[in-house]
A and B are shown apart, each in its own frame.
Chain A
Amino acid sequence: METTVKVNNLVKKFGDFVANDNLSFEVYAGEIFGFLGANGAGKTTAIKILCGLSKPTSGDVNVSGFNIYKDREKIKRNIGYMSQRFSLYDDLTIADNIKFYGGIYGLSREKIKSKTDEYIEELGLQEYVKRSISDLPLGIKQKLAFLIAVIHEPKIVFLDEPTSGVDPITRRQFWNMIYQQADKGTTVFITTHYMDEAEYCNRISIMVDGKIEALGTPKQLKEDFKTETIEELFVQLARNAKND
């Protein structure tokens, strides 16, 4: 199986504090990988490194075939990224946002035009076309942000708590989009606080105090740790955390 992400002995230190303590894992092409952990466990630090936004203290990291030390810029150009905090420019229209991001990723004008039409069609945005993003309901904003994150058809897309605060139906619609994307062969790397969403992933990892304490399919992990749900498993692991 093709590997989209390969991490070996990743260490990241901030002064004396070890945020990522010897992480090793792989993510395969087309899988939905759930990256879980409590706040402060080191998730965000690791994701920043995988996205090329930060350098490891030591260890090997390869994303989309590119090495983190030699080709950091290439990594940035070949991944998609969506965060709940930032996504689209509120003061621009939908078309402007698509044009902007499409342009950044080097899409041709025609491609941008066809993508714009496609997205408007898919999300039913006809009445919102001329309006700015801030007019859109939250659920639609999230979906649009996701589509834009994959506009350049990257091999892997990183989603940072993409469904926070959204209503349960929209959440599931969003997951439908994730599934569709994964079906197309895109690797989806997602973090979330919703434990039921962990079950939708092909495999998950749980970080505690900078280390990966669990890695495997949801089914396997529940068997191994003898818990009914991933939530139980998470609570069990996180309760032992020293880092507070």
Chain B
Amino acid sequence: MKEFIIKEFKQIFRDYRSMVILFGIPIAQVMLFGFALNMNLKNVHFAVLDKAKDDYSKNIIAKMNASDYFILDKYLENEDQIERIFEEGLIKEVIVFESNFGKNLIKEGKANLQIIADASDPNTANMIVSYSQAIIDNYQRSLMSNNAMSGMAVPEVQFKYNKELKSVYMFVPGVITIILMLVSAMMTSISIAKEKELGTMEILLVSPIKPIQIIIGKVIPYVILSLINFIIIIILSFLVFKMPMNGSMLLLVLESLLYIIMSLALGIFISTVSNSQQTAMLLSMFALLLPTILLSGFIFPVENMPTALIYTSHIMPSKWFIIIIKGIMLKNASFMDIWKETALVFMFTIAFIGLSIKKFKIRLE
């Protein structure tokens, strides 16, 4: 019994792969979760439609800006701009002050003030609103102790795109992203690695088939399967979860198709550097799935993470795709709204295809 344990230890320590799994990955995960799981708000961009432009509104704005949580991004001119500014995506909150804000506040003890939050990410929206309310509250209390105000303005809160703060609105886009990535990338990588492992790849190489044909032959079934999966998920999310579909279905399908192709290209790339199905699976799992879940912003808001992780998330194609999906489904985004993100996913696709072609070994070594 003792000998068995000793032997196991020796084998474990001498195999660098098991070392990576035993130590490297847990440490990476703890760090990742520790930093990602940061529920505090930071640097939320907000805009203001200040019809009053008096000391009181200006003070509230200044106080919000001064805090670590908010960054004043823009002054809006009129209501029509509000919709646009949310669709652009950067602004998560708009504060609207009525034209006689200060006067009404002092004279009558109440004034109209609106907090509109982008609730496509309901948890964050909730926090944003709470923090904003707290700051506004604080300010008013300090006024009251100085000036004998008769009452406080209670802001009217509006959660845009997700009135009931349904977390499913955030969830479904995330799940679509993960599943497409999983089926396409992981399955493709395993399938190609399997040919290598079984030795059938040898025969395929010594034949007229070109490597590109092997790849396409492997990829097409998974494209079809992924599309079917996608349709099933969409149908489910409409029927069961009552996800809104405010944008163009065609655009959604096209963007998803692009994303599927990118995932497949990624899967092929993983298979070119894996010699066995096990390696392919592990790589897909740890290098793809976990970071995607964590860093795409689908569970934990990316804005809250340390800067290093935010930059890392920029290289996760899934992050951009989630923005695209949410934009289309919730915010009725048109192509012009999401062309930047689309371009990024497109570039990733080209890059992975290029890398795969380069790394695909036409020989055995």
Contact = CB atoms under 8 A, between A and B. Distances in A.
Classify A-B as touching or not with yes or no (CB < 8 A). yes
Interface of A: 89, 91-92, 96, 99-104
B2 A96 contact: no
Contact of B15 (A91, A99, A101, A104): A91
Contact of A96 (B4, B7, B15): B7
A92 B3 contact: no
18 contacts: A89-B7, A89-B11, A91-B11, A91-B14, A91-B15, A92-B7, A92-B10, A96-B7, A96-B10, A99-B3, A100-B4, A100-B6, A100-B7, A101-B3, A103-B2, A103-B3, A104-B3, A104-B4
Contacts of A104: 3-4
A101 B3 CA distance: 8
Contacts of B10: 92, 96
Contacts of B15: 91
B338 to A, nearest CB: 51
Nearest to B2: A103
A103 B8 CA distance: 13
Contacts of A91: 11, 14-15
Nearest to A102: B3
Given A99-B3, A103-B2, 4 more contacts: A91-B15, A96-B7, A100-B4, A104-B3
Nearest to A107: B3
Interface residues of B, number: 9
Contacts of A92: 7, 10-11
**Secondary structure class of chain A's binding surface, majority of residues:** helix
B12 to A, nearest CB: 10
A110 to B, nearest CB: 15
A91 B7 CA distance: 10
Contacts of A101: 3
Closest 9 CB pairs of A and B: A103-B3, A100-B7, A100-B3, A91-B14, A91-B11, A104-B3, A92-B10, A96-B10, A99-B3
A91 B4 CA distance: 15
Contacts of B6: 99-100, 103
A59 to B, nearest CB: 33
A104 B15 CA distance: 23
B238 to A, nearest CB: 48
A96 B10 CA distance: 9
B364 to A, nearest CB: 19
B181 to A, nearest CB: 34
Contacts of B4: 100, 103-104
B20 to A, nearest CB: 16
A104 B2 CA distance: 8
Which of B2, B4, B7, B15: most chain A Cβ within 10 A? B7
Interface in B1-51: 2-4, 6-7, 10-11, 14-15
A103 B10 CA distance: 15
A111 to B, nearest CB: 13
A218 B14 CA distance: 48
A102 B7 CA distance: 12
A34 B156 CA distance: 92
Nearest to B3: A103
Nearest to B8: A100
A213 to B, nearest CB: 35
Nearest to A93: B10
Contacts of B3: 99-104
A102 B2 CA distance: 11
Nearest to B4: A104
A168 to B, nearest CB: 28
Nearest to A90: B11
A6 to B, nearest CB: 31
A100 B168 CA distance: 55
Contacts of A89: 7, 11
Nearest to A101: B3
Contacts of B11: 89, 91-92
Interface string B229-257: 00000000000000000000000000000
A91 B14 CA distance: 8
A91 B9 CA distance: 12
Contacts of B14: 91
A129 to B, nearest CB: 16
A185 B313 CA distance: 70
A142 to B, nearest CB: 21
B127 to A, nearest CB: 51
Contacts of A100: 3-4, 6-7
Interface string B307-326: 00000000000000000000
A89 B11 CA distance: 9
A91 B17 CA distance: 13
